[in-house]
Structure 1
Amino acid sequence: MAETFKTRRAEYADATREALLDAARELFTSQGYQQISLEAIAQKARVTRGAFYHHFSGKTDLLDALVVALQADAAARVRAASAAAQASQRVSAGIAAFLDVCSEPTYRHLVLETATAVLGSDRCREIEEASTFGLLSAALQAQAARGSAAAKNVPLAARMIGRMICESALLIDSAEDEKAFKADVQRIVKHTWDAVTAGPRTKA
């Protein structure tokens, strides 16, 4: 099998793109998307304006790539947390991991607060379905395949459960006891999950 390798130019291009994403992540989180210029991002990344436009068509395109990366990382963390837990605890572990991700300043500000206004709801849903919400949907689909999912519209159920977690994360800062608040969220979401996956009830 031929060895796959990158040229120095390709490696430099990848490094430049990552530097721009890292710079944007830091600046957008600390100062806000609207307040940051392309020049500030390029300067932070130590690249030229021309290098910026080689990778991104503009600030919106950069935010799109950043949200995709954040969602992919969130999905990987949820997947890892679920895989590391015992079978009976995988759903709870996944819920807890997703809530933790949603609570982080960068994810909360860029994905939950900024993305919809800048990228539009349709694009945000597309990104979610390919990452975090896609995991929820796949888990519910697996339940449906075993005949134990009560929800007829699995994508809708997955979206509603995912949105519960995201919306709850926006309230964490105002909670008097963050640990207790997260525990409450996890219980509520788990009860909802159990209700969706309980299967059809038999009549007495």
Structure 2
Amino acid sequence: MNDDAATAGQRFWDARYSESRRVWSGEPNAALVAETAGLEPGTALDLGCGEGADAVWLARRGWRVVGADVSGVALERARAHADEAGVGERTEFQRHNLGASFPEGRFDLVSACFLHSWQDLPREPVLRTAASRIASGGTLLIVGHVGEPMWVEEVGSYVEQPTAAEVLTSLELPEAEWEVLVAEERKRAHAGPGGHDTDSVVRLRRR
């Protein structure tokens, strides 16, 4: 990804978040809660953290969390959310256009929930980089939309999102080093007339 594309992505998402006081609900993603509630807290990386709901939920449960997002507007809201929740010292928020830069370090959990963008985002390479940052015994969680969004009227007018099996294939991970714990599609209730109603959930553990 070149600098112009990275800057365009930052401008797009800053504008998107500036349209309203809050874009998302402030609640953690249901799949994150379901798949990580039983894990021993450690270090976590939240990719595409947005306004910080997932990062705050993890920090409240004892995780030390790095949240990464392309939008400075979203990151300011995430920091404020963490401070209000009393977990500011357990969270760090960094601005990254993940196709161009990536947080340093290794993590016991990397979560990528709905890491999609209308802008140029090399999602598969980003997720492969995420897998490379998982510590021994750590978890990689990838949650995404499946198929076309419900609001698309013309078939083929929007890039279809991969199934769980397709996500696994795209990661290109050595089978001997990884255990697949979950790879499935799930129905998800949503508010409003638009949105996806099926998501892919992939959870892997590094042996």
TM-score between both structures, scaled by the size of structure 1: 0.27
| Structure (1/2) with the larger helix percentage | 1
Higher strand share: 2
Give the TM-score taking structure 2 as reference length.
0.27
